[in-house]
Amino acid sequence: MHELRRLVRFIVNPQDPDGAVPSGHGLNTFAGTPCMRGLGRYYEIEAVAAGDPDPVTGYLIGIKDLDVVVREAAIPLVTTACLDKPWTSPLELMPALFRAVDARLRERAPPGPAPARLRALRWWLTPYYSVEMRQPEMDTVILRQQFDFAAAHRLHVPSLSDDANRTIFGRCNNPSGHGHNYRIEPAVALRVPVPGDAPFGLDDLERLTMQLIVARFDHKHLNADTPEFNPRTGLNPSIENMAKIFFDILAPAIDQASSGRAALQSMTVWETDRTSCTFPA
């Protein structure tokens, strides 16, 4: 079994004064099509198809075919919601998007013992905010939002010798510490909400994460200023330990705020753009 991922970038243009929606197809699919006009909206949708590739061509499904599937099935639904009901929650729209893309993929996928089927659909509304639905949890959506904060730390384990610490942690064992611009991304799983009954939303996630994580650790020396990572009382502030600590702090707050109808699924911490850790994995 293979998974093939395809990211489709697209624009939802505003209506013209006469009520018509501009239909220019655009040529630059890298930047998103159709070509943006006026104050358009830019979105990205990633479709994940799973199955066995054709033994001759090596293709599960052509990426151009996957583009067509997303553009024909998902984009009209997003466009209609943006123009007719712009207050619609993306969480509420995800089941219809998934069903439409899944049905169109079944029509277009090449036949075979294990033809391409939709495994996951993820919609980025901004570069940092996304919603996702995956098989087989069709009654659940995953809400993600990224945050950032700046902090200093020193990687040092008191029970090890100074030489051992320098060998293991290198420059990160600098006695005065060093800093990072951290990014974090909590992923919250919740039941698909019905209109007017949202147990937990983006504003709730932002409020809790800002209060419990960002305000608590931003512009701190983690070893010196926080009990979670103090050398005498806490853990070594690696991103592995940070991901678990942040998860443990945020998970019960989300459970309480949603009356048990939303759950923190994972916490990802980026130390740099090349290094990240997710807990639990």
State which of 79, 107, 136 marks the end of a domain: 136
Q: How far apart are CA 1 and CA 146, in angstroms?
A: 31
Helix axes 75-84, 90-108, angle to 10 degrees: 150
Q: How far apart are CA 270 and CA 274, in angstroms?
A: 8
Q: Which residue out of 3, 137, 178, 219 is catalytically annotated?
A: 219
Same domain, 47 and 68: yes
Same domain, 117 and 182: no
Amino acid at 114: A
Q: Which residue out of 35, 72, 271, 277 is catalytically annotated?
A: 271
Same domain, 73 and 167: no
pLDDT, residue 168, reads 96
Same domain, 195 and 121: no
Residue 140 near residue 189 (C-beta atoms within 8 A):
yes
State which of 136, 171, 195 marks the end of a domain: 136
Helices (H), 11-89: 63-73, 75-84
Residue 97 near residue 124 (C-beta atoms within 8 A):
no
153 is catalytic: no
Q: Provide the token pair at 219.
A: 């512009």
Its domain, for residue 85, covers 2-136
Same domain, 222 and 250: yes
The model carries a pTM of 0.90
- Counting the structural domains of the chain, the total is 2
Same domain, 257 and 178: yes
Give CA 274 to chain center in angstroms. 17
Same domain, 18 and 126: yes
Q: Which residue out of 172, 180, 221, 228 is catalytically annotated?
A: 172
Give CA 260 to chain center in angstroms. 22
Q: Provide the token pair at 206.
A: 């932002």
What burial class does residue 47 get, using C-beta atoms within 10 Å of its C-beta: 0-12 exposed, 13-18 middle, 19+ buried? Answer: buried
Compute mean pLDDT per 10 residues along the chain, 281 residues long, and list them.
95 80 74 89 97 92 94 95 92 96 94 91 98 93 98 95 96 94 98 80 97 98 96 91 98 96 97 96 90
Q: Provide the token pair at 181.
A: 């611009």
Same domain, 113 and 147: no
82 is catalytic: no
Instruction: Specify the CATH number for the domain of residue 216.
Output: 3.30.479.10
185 is catalytic: no
Helix axes 90-108, 63-73, angle to 10 degrees: 130
Q: Other C-beta atoms within 10 Å of 198: how many?
A: 18
pLDDT, residue 21, reads 63
State which of 109, 136, 163 marks the end of a domain: 136
Give CA 147 to chain center in angstroms. 12
pLDDT, residue 113, reads 86
Same domain, 105 and 167: no
Same domain, 96 and 163: no
Same domain, 200 and 225: yes
Same domain, 75 and 163: no
Residue 105 near residue 68 (C-beta atoms within 8 A):
no
